[in-house]
Amino acid sequence: MKIIMLGAPGAGKGTQAQMIAEQYGLPHISTGDIFRANIKNGTDLGKEAKTYMDQGKLVPDELTVRILLDRVAQDDCKNGYVLDGFPRTIPQAEVLDAELTKLGDQIDFAINVDVPDENIIKRMSGRRACLKCGATYHIVHVPPKQEGVCDKCGSELVLRDDDKPETVKNRLSVYHEQTQPLIDYYTKKNVLKTVDGTVPKEDVFKAIISILG
């Protein structure tokens, strides 16, 4: 089962992707995680990706596609995977479809987690991250035991540049311009399913499970 998660940044698609991956025993492939790992390790690719991410811009297709196709060719993706953060544009979707077609394969479901922009801006400005171990929190929904301190490693928590309100607005406008057309793309392929992302995450997950069966 090959699943794509769609939705604006901060819609909660990453959380749902993780839950789906656990439920069905599939790898959860997040381009954001791959980029962050490269940034943390100071690779050339990471440095290049960071210049875009810090400005709230999308990482160019060629960088993203190269990493992703290599990842889905690995053994643990034999029975499927959950893609989170890819494809973000129609050209990426077309490249992915072309590569899968060569393998006699295709995407089974594109799940769109739908959340209004104003909800997203509120959600993301409350996020806090530990740059040392990668743990993430939310000042309202998942607060750390001690304010500003990571539960796992005791390091300082920060509001990442890409979670600041002005960057989030920028990311949302980029999303609406470049990524939203994917909803039409996957609708035409009869694989798109939309769920309400404003309800509690457990209810979002139930709605997704009922679609996937």
- Given 160, 164, 169, 201, the catalytic residue: 160
With 0-12 / 13-18 / 19 or more C-beta atoms within 10 angstroms meaning exposed / middle / buried, residue 62 is exposed
- Given 2, 88, 123, 128, the catalytic residue: 88
DSSP E strand stretches across 17-174: 28-30, 81-84, 109-114, 127-130, 136-138, 157-158
Neighbours of 47 (CB within 10 A): 11
| Known catalytic membership, residue 171 | yes
Q: Which residues contact 128 (CB under 8 A, 6 or more apart)?
A: 136, 137, 138, 139, 144, 148, 157, 158, 159
Yes or no: say if 93 and 192 are a contact pair by the CB < 8 Å rule: no
| Known catalytic membership, residue 66 | no
- Given 50, 123, 128, 171, the catalytic residue: 171
Report how far residue 56's alpha carbon sits from residue 141's, in angstroms, rounded to the nearest whole number.
Answer: 24
Report how far residue 7's alpha carbon sits from residue 77's, in angstroms, rounded to the nearest whole number.
Answer: 23
- Given 2, 13, 36, 50, the catalytic residue: 13
| Known catalytic membership, residue 123 | no
- Given 2, 36, 123, 127, the catalytic residue: 127
Provide the annotated active-site residues.
Answer: 13, 88, 127, 160, 171
